[in-house]
Amino acid sequence: MSVSYGDSPARQVIVEKAKEEGIVWLGGLEEMWTRCMGDNHDLECLQYLHCTSSTLHNKLSRAEQVTIFRLRTGHNRLKHHLFSRFKIGDGPNCPCGANRQDAQHVLQDCPLLDDARLKYWPEPREMNQKLYGSALQLGITAEFIYASDLTI
């Protein structure tokens, strides 16, 4: 199932900030990520894009919220959860050969997703930032999952 998240509130915040910054918007998050989040000292940008988990319903689409929640809790459709909880599938192993296909593996380690990971996070990011960061960071995590064609 292919879903478009091009008009989500989180993306609109990014697009508006990109316009303010004079960035030509080409539909990707990479330049905005580099400009805003690459420099941890850019306090104005961080304050603009930062939101608490209690206000995420205003920043992320329902589908993005569900994706982040499932990744946070481990209650998702990745092989490890399906096999260990419901005995669905042939095992918890990732197609790359790793022992567990779980959120940690998918977001941080899976070699099959290295290219996509580099596209969305040119600089390494901690798991905590990917799952509990600002609305921008959570939007990027959701976009990465959708682009990876994983069912969460």
Give pLDDT, residue 46: 44
Give pLDDT, residue 47: 43
Local mean pLDDT, 10-residue blocks, the chain (152 residues): 50 65 48 52 43 59 94 96 96 98 98 97 94 92 96 94
Give pLDDT, residue 6: 52
Residues 95 and 63: their CA atoms lie apart, in Å, by 25
Give pLDDT, residue 59: 84
CB 35 within 8 A of CB 21: yes
Residue 31 per-residue DSSP state: H
Helices 9-21 and 135-147 pack at an angle, to 10 degrees, of 110
Give pLDDT, residue 43: 45
Give pLDDT, residue 52: 42
